[in-house]
Amino acid sequence: MTTSAPVPTGPDAPIPSQGTVTDRLVDANERYADAFADPGMDARPVLQVAVVACMDARLDLHAALGLELGDCHTIRNAGGVVTDDVIRSLTISQRALGTRSVVLIHHTGCGLESLTEEFRHELEMEIGQRPSWAVESFRDVDQDVRQSMQRVRTSPFLLHTDDVRGFVFDVKTGLLREIDPV
């Protein structure tokens, strides 16, 4: 049973004549809903896994990992770094919704490798207010995956920290490379 309808994408997809990209998304949702069938599942992931990954548009996580609707929780942010909010989401995922495994995915060519905490200072100069959040930029993607694994493994809020694995996704080949936590 399929639960999704194809959504036109790319340069040939129709764009509303007087609309925005958001209008295009809403139109696509209407077409999706026309063919939608309730899959009859709840919010508990079938595979009991949460995937934390970068928000980069080049990462199609479900396709890259062979996942189907309902298989996992997906938590994405800039860099795929483990922040307090990621710990919050993982805690809810584990304690309320039964996940037991955590997969962390960073990727090659990440934009956070070219940013620094100076980005926050620039925002403060432009807006007049310093952001309360850290940029979480990094220079070594492998080391940042190790740091993210360590943050998950040492969180007092998480029940299951024995199956935490980290990877770097190569945006040129589509392959995952596992990172040794040591």
In angstroms, the CA 1 to CA 6 distance is: 14
Compute the mean pLDDT over every residue in the chain, rounded to the nearest whole number.
92
**Res. 6: pLDDT tops 80:** no
- pLDDT tens digits for range 107-156: 999 999 999 989 999 999 999 999 999 999 999 999 999 999 999 999 99
Q: 3-state class of 167 per DSSP?
A: strand
- pLDDT tens digits for range 27-55: 999 999 999 998 899 999 999 999 999 99
| Alpha carbon separation from 77 to 41, 81, 111, 176 (Å, rounded) | 26, 7, 12, 18
- pTM confidence score: 0.86
